[in-house]
A = this chain, B = another copy of it.
């Protein structure tokens, strides 16, 4: 993409009401724009990152056997009356009346709707187990939205729902999602620790929160640093293999990790002191097993193998897709701006032409841009007629993993400069070598 034709409104200063670094940087780097309290537009660069996060979440859900569908944002109040949650849910639920005065709401979550869809579609035990998920905008009317997309009102969430014939099966579905989450967060370059959690308004007796350490977190967290040693993508895991699922789940459960709500000081004291990690954390995922809470309340059953009705056991599994963008930036930035992990970077390379008014520089940069595109390297090309200093500052601010700088002096010697945003390391090399490095 040529910056001269793009829409990237960067800013030197961030608004005074942005309190945390990710919020400040997302505004300054032109990723988002607030349109109402706790509601944001995703500008082109921010949307690219959001889509990459979403796609990684999707791929790991698919790999774990979950099936994607898409439920609407608005729901009928009657659906929530079936579970009893319409009256129980607090003022965070945005309640709406349509032109016929029918009571509706903007979905904060989808247990009721997926239960109704599954109930009305499935008759036989042979259609279970099944885990269904969607990635859709949700709304929670936070009393005091803040921290940008970290605690916004309209937010993008992946929520999955599992249906099993018995509790043993439901626990396997739960383990599957838990392990899929560990793979997902690792691919995103985020360290999210699963912590035993209270299950809150969703209900149920088995629940984990996935928490990213950050000073702005809502809760105090405690965990065993042994957790940091695991490589979930490399771990031998066949989702169809019960033994694998149980072994890895036991490995996770064996390491101490708790929020202040579930903290057990006696067990904590048993963790060797040098392995204790304590701090504040942000929730980026939450998973629940809640048995027949919704299926029973909403009258869902299937015919079992013996002809008798079976009420399915359910779980639900959420990831805060838009919130993750804030969490990634909290974990990965420096004084000059964002440092994107390559997996979610909006573009891999920022190409800077130092002198748009110099025909040789422009020709060389245009040519390299065409070659990068042809090689499938996602490139943002700063072809504007601006000062070099401003271009450098913008590239550092938006945090693409690699920068290539083309200037008249280097070109005379046949070289360009390649900079790694994370390390700051710069090397001079020929255009062909730069291309080979980045297309690799």
- Interface residues in chain A, defined as those with a beta carbon under 8 Å from any beta carbon in chain B: 5-7, 9, 30, 33, 35-37, 39-44, 46-47, 50, 65, 67-76, 79, 91-92, 94, 96, 98-99, 102, 104, 106, 113, 116-117, 120-122, 130, 132, 137, 139, 141, 143, 153-154
Contacts and interface: CB of A to CB of B under 8 A. Distances in A.
B99 A70 contact: no
Contacts of A6: 67
Given A96-B96, A98-B141, A117-B41, A72 B7 contact: no
A35 B154 CA distance: 21
A69 B43 contact: yes
A41 B69 contact: yes
Given A5-B67, A35-B113, A117-B33, A154 B47 contact: no
A301 to B, nearest CB: 16
B104 A98 contact: no
Contacts of A143: 99
Which 5 pairs across A and B sit closest by C-beta, in order of nearness? A9-B121, A42-B70, A36-B76, A41-B71, A91-B99
Contact of A40 (B37, B72, B121, B154): B72
9 contacts: A7-B121, A35-B71, A35-B79, A36-B104, A41-B117, A74-B139, A94-B99, A96-B106, A98-B153
B98 A154 contact: no
A41 B113 contact: yes
Contacts of A120: 33
The listed residue with most B CB atoms (<10 A of its CB), out of A44, A67, A72, is: A72
B36 A5 contact: no
Contacts of A98: 94, 141, 153
Contacts of A41: 69-72, 113, 117
A121 B34 CA distance: 12
Nearest to A120: B33
A289 to B, nearest CB: 20
A36 B75 contact: yes
A72 B154 contact: yes
A122 B9 contact: yes
A429 B7 CA distance: 53
Contacts of A65: 5
Contact of A7 (B42, B44, B67): B67
A72 B121 contact: no
Contacts of A36: 72, 74-76, 79, 102, 104
A240 to B, nearest CB: 10
Contacts of A42: 69-71
Contacts of A94: 96, 98-99
The listed residue with most B CB atoms (<10 A of its CB), out of A47, A98, A102, A154, is: A98
Given A122-B9, A132-B7, A35 B117 contact: yes
A75 B35 contact: yes
Contacts of A76: 35-36
A73 B73 contact: yes
The listed residue with most B CB atoms (<10 A of its CB), out of A36, A43, A91, A106, is: A36
A140 to B, nearest CB: 10
A298 to B, nearest CB: 14
A383 to B, nearest CB: 12
Given A7-B130, A36-B75, A69 B47 contact: yes
B47 A70 contact: yes
A116 B389 CA distance: 29
Nearest to A130: B7
B113 A74 contact: no
A50 B70 contact: yes
A139 to B, nearest CB: 7
A102 B36 CA distance: 10
B67 A44 contact: yes
Contacts of A141: 98-99
Contacts of A35: 71-72, 75-76, 79, 113, 116-117
